[in-house]
Amino acid sequence: MAKDGTIYLVGAGPGDPDLLTLRAARLIEAAGVIVHDGLVDPAILRLAHPQAKLISVAKQRSKHTLPQDEINRLLIAIARNGQDVVRLKGGDPFIFGRGGEEAEAAHAAGVSVEVVPGISAANGAAAAAQISLTHRDAASIVSYVAGQCKGLAEQNWAGLAGKGRTLVIYMGVKTAPQIAEKLMADGLSPSMPVAVIENGARPTMRVLRSSLAGLPDLVEHENVVSPALIVIGEVTARDSALAVVAQEAVA
């Protein structure tokens, strides 16, 4: 009887292949099967062996190539066939990557799992934009939230943003109007500075700025598309962050 393979939940980082961990790069290069998200940069997929089988399970708003339960079953089936499989995710697999669900499913099925952390989208994009998510003079608390989720209007975000705090919103492009309205209704100043980082840490990165009140118009007028993060807080208006915008304007 063939021995089961291992499921490797691998973080691909924010997009630049140079930001992969050594462990991630080695697993990608050696993999026979890679099951990857749609936001994994093609440059990273090109590291795979030419004979590797690449399976896309790309997810878009309201449209999934495979539902999550089917992805879980696919990974388990490959492993039970005696093959190792790299499950490649943008950022870190355990930060809005549903890696926890896949690990739980594998454990329930008795299949071995290894988690390979990656630079999270928030950390990578903010660093590329020179936005320090924490700063002694501006923020000592960072919160991550999902802007595209069930029951967004009913969630309590009070206290997540404001003086001394930074709020990073994943998957918030489509719901930017609701996000701005929600935060202002919870008492956040309409003038709070905001940065939108599109394609963070990639050659096509854009860093766009607004006040919280102007966020919906910014996203619409600049035609912001995923992958993009919304960063809300005083850190987005620091000198180091603004310098990146000035450099991009010159370029």
Active site residues: 37, 59
Please report where in the chains the tokens 């996000």 appear, as a residue.
179
Q: Where are the beta strands (DSSP E) in 23-138?
A: 33-36, 53-56, 59-60, 63-64, 85-89, 112-116
CA distance 52 to 23: 18
With a CB cutoff of 8 Å and minimum separation 6, the contacts of 213 are 180, 184, 190, 191
* Mutual angle of helices 68-80 and 99-108, in 10-degree steps: 50
Q: What token pair was written down for 203?
A: 């050659």
Beta bridge partners of 210: 194
- Closest C-alpha among 197, 171, 222 to residue 61: 171
Q: What token pair was written down for 11?
A: 């973080």
CA distance 128 to 130: 5
| H or E segment to which residue 150 belongs | none
116 within 8 A of 11, measured Cβ to Cβ: yes
CA distance 39 to 92: 12
